[in-house]
Chain A
Amino acid sequence: SAVISQKPSRDICQRGTSLTIQCQVDSQVTMMFWYRQQPGQSLTLIATANQGSEATYESGFVIDKFPISRPNLTFSTLTVSNMSPEDSSIYLCSVSGGGQPQHFGDGTRLSIL
Chain B
Amino acid sequence: GENVEQHPSTLSVQEGDSAVIKCTYSDSASNYFPWYKQELGKGPQLIIDIRSNVGEKKDQRIAVTLNKTAKHFSLHITETQPEDSAVYFCAATPMEYGNKLVFGAGTILRVKS
Contact = CB atoms under 8 A, between A and B. Distances in A.
Q: Describe B's contact surface by its main secondary structure.
A: loop
Nearest to B93: A102
Contacts of A48: 100
Interface in A3-60: 4, 30-31, 33, 41-45, 48, 58
B34 to A, nearest CB: 6
A96 B43 contact: no
Nearest to B98: A31
A43 B97 contact: no
Contact residues of A: prevailing secondary structure = strand
Nearest to B1: A59
B13 interface: no
Contacts of A30: 98
Contacts of A105: 43
Nearest to A9: B41
A33 B46 CA distance: 16
A104 B36 CA distance: 10
A97 B97 contact: yes
Contact of B103 (A43, A101, A107): A43
Nearest to B96: A101
Nearest to B105: A42
18 contacts: A31-B98, A41-B106, A42-B103, A42-B105, A43-B101, A43-B103, A45-B102, A48-B100, A92-B44, A97-B97, A99-B97, A101-B34, A101-B46, A101-B49, A104-B43, A104-B44, A107-B42, A107-B43
